[in-house]
């Protein structure tokens, strides 16, 4: 029951090293950067290298810190940013829902397949995640463009008379996101569903529950952790997604990742980009904590 503790106790020197190395790395390159982002979000844009002002000054034995809220005020005053945040959240919400609706039956089917086939199916699901997202999105560009394959196909079977515009619309962005993020939904769901004890369903059937009823009353509640993990793995990154809206979206596609990119690379306004990131993080912090808790539960499962 307390086995693991005893092992760790037995390596007093190694212990610090084992914990220390990944900890220091992640602290340096994951946590510390956020603090700097927060700091710069309170700075002012400046024509300099780097292009922002320092928020603290040391003069005459006096430390003065200037917290400049103008970036945040700027964000709240311009409707563009609010619309971009809402657009991102909406996009993330609906694409997560779509991924769940498509991914759950897929994960279920894989988990119920023969052992040999399970491995084949899993590899088929995982393989796309090993190829560049850029390439997969790019593949859709050729298909969805107004003179692309989809339109040619629809025209040839006479369903439409004029090419419809799909590329550079939100529809294309939805397709791209669902396409790219589907594996991240299926994999945690599968990992959860495959652990289910088949005899639970048999017991339910034995007690007179229909297959449909058993699915909703037993399988779905038991896969709660898988659903949370899958949804978070899709929802959180999609809120900040840049590549897909940039390549498949059009002028109507307002997403915060794209806006941040433009502020940073096109306008070179680092403080505003930082403020955008801080607000985005503030929105996502609850889902991220939820995900981390869920993950910790799964990770420590038996420990």
Partner 1 sequence: MSVASSTYKKVLEGDQQPKEVLVKIERVTKKFDEAVAVDDVSLTINKGEIFALLGGSGSGKSTLLRMLAGFERPTDGRIFLDGVDITDMPPYERPINMMFQSYALFPHMSVADNIAFGLKQDKMPRAEIEVRVEEMLKLVQMTEYARRKPHQLSGGQRQRVALARSLAKSPKLLLLDEPMGALDKKLRSQMQLELVEIIERVGVTCVMVTHDQEEAMTMAQRVAIMHQGWIAQIGSPVDIYETPTSRLVCEFVGSVNLFEGQVVEDAEGHALIDSPDLERNIFVGHGVSTSVQDKSITYAIRPEKLLFTTEKPAGEHNWSRGTVYDIAYLGGHSVFHVELPSGKIVQSFVANAERRGARPTWDDEVYVWWEDDSGVALRS
Partner 2 sequence: MRGFSFSRLMLWVGFAFIYLPMLILVIYSFNGSRLVTVWGGWSVKWYVGLLDNTQLMNAVMRSLEIACYTAIAAVILGTLAAFVLTRVTRFKGRTMFGGLVTAPLVMPEVITGLSLLLLFVAMAQLIGWPAERGILTIWIAHTTFCTAYVSVVVSSRLRELDLSIEEAAMDLGAKPLKVFFLITIPMIAPSLAAGGMMSFALSLDDLVLASFVSGPGSTTLPMEVFSAVRLGVKPEINAIASLILLSVSLMTFIIWFFARRAEHRRKKAIQQAMEETTGIREQQGPDSRRDPSQVHATA
Instruction: Summarize as ranges the residues that interact with partner 1 (CB under 8 A).
Output: 1-3, 6-7, 9-10
- State the minimum distance, in angstroms, from the CB of residue 94 to partner 2: 17
Picked from partner 1, partner 2, none, the partner binding residue 160 (CB below 5 to 8 A depending on kind) is none
- State the minimum distance, in angstroms, from the CB of residue 61 to partner 2: 21
Picked from partner 2, partner 1, none, the partner binding residue 1 (CB below 5 to 8 A depending on kind) is partner 1
Q: How many CB atoms lie within 10 A of CB 270?
A: 20
Fill in the per-residue mask, 203 to 222: x = in contact with partner 2 (CB under 8 A), - = not in contact.
Answer: --------------------
Picked from partner 1, partner 2, none, the partner binding residue 89 (CB below 5 to 8 A depending on kind) is none
- Which residues fall within 8 angstroms of residue 294, CB to CB, at 6 or more apart? 225, 228, 229, 232
- State the minimum distance, in angstroms, from the CB of residue 3 to partner 1: 7
Among residues 66, 82, 139, 200, the one that binds partner 2 under rule CB under 8 A: 139
Q: What is the DSSP string of 108-173?
A: HHHHHS-HHHHHHHHHHHHHHHHS-HHHHHHHHHHHHSTTSHHHHHHHHTTS-SS----TTSHHHH
Among residues 147, 210, 213, 267, the one that binds partner 2 under rule CB under 8 A: 147
CB-based contact 274:266 (threshold 8 Å): no
- Please report, as residue ranges, which positions from 283 to 302 form the binding site for partner 2 (by CB under 8 A): 284, 287-289, 291-292, 295-296, 299-302
**Taking CB under 8 A as the rule, does residue 160 contact partner 2?**
no
Picked from partner 1, partner 2, none, the partner binding residue 274 (CB below 5 to 8 A depending on kind) is partner 2
- Please report, as residue ranges, which positions from 226 to 255 form the binding site for partner 2 (by CB under 8 A): 232-233, 236-237, 239-243, 246-247
- Which residues fall within 8 angstroms of residue 265, CB to CB, at 6 or more apart? none
Which is nearest to 84 in space by CA: 252, 203, 221, 292? 252
Q: Is the dihedral of CA 130, 133, 135, 141 positive or negative?
A: positive
Where on the phi/psi map is residue 66: left (φ > 0), alpha (ψ -120 to 50), or beta? beta
């Amino acid at each position: 029951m307390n086995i693991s503790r005893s092992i760790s106790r037995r390596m007093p020197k190694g212990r610090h090293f084992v914990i220390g190395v990944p900890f220091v790395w992640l602290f340096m390159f994951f946590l510390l950067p956020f603090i700097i982002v927060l700091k710069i979000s309170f700075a002012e844009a400046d024509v300099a290298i780097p292009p922002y002002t320092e928020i603290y000054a040391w003069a005459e034995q006096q430390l003065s810190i200037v917290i400049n809220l103008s970036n945040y005020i700027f964000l709240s005053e311009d409707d563009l940013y609010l619309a971009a945040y809402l657009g991102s959240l909406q996009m993330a919400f609906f694409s997560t829902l779509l991924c769940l609706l498509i991914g759950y039956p897929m994960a279920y089917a894989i988990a119920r397949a023969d052992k040999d086939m399970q491995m084949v199916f899993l590899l088929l699901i995982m393989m796309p995640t090993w190829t560049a997202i850029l390439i997969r999105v790019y593949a859709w560009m050729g298909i969805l463009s107004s003179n692309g394959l989809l339109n040619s196909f629809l025209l040839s079977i006479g369903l439409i008379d004029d090419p419809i515009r799909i590329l550079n619309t939100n529809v294309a962005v939805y397709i791209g996101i669902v396409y790219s993020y589907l594996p991240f939904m299926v994999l945690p769901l599968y990992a959860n569903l495959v652990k289910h004890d088949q005899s639970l369903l048999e017991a339910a059937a034995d007690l007179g529950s229909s297959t449909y009823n058993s699915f909703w009353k037993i399988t779905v509640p038991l896969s709660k952790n898988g659903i949370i993990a899958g949804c978070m793995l899709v929802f959180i990154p999609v809120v900040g997604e840049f590549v897909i809206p940039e390549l498949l979206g059009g002028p109507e596609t307002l997403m915060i990742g794209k806006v941040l990119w433009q502020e940073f690379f096109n306008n070179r306004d680092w403080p505003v980009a930082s403020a955008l990131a801080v607000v985005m993080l503030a929105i996502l912090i609850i889902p991220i904590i939820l995900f981390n808790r869920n993950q910790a539960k799964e990770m420590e499962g038996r420990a």
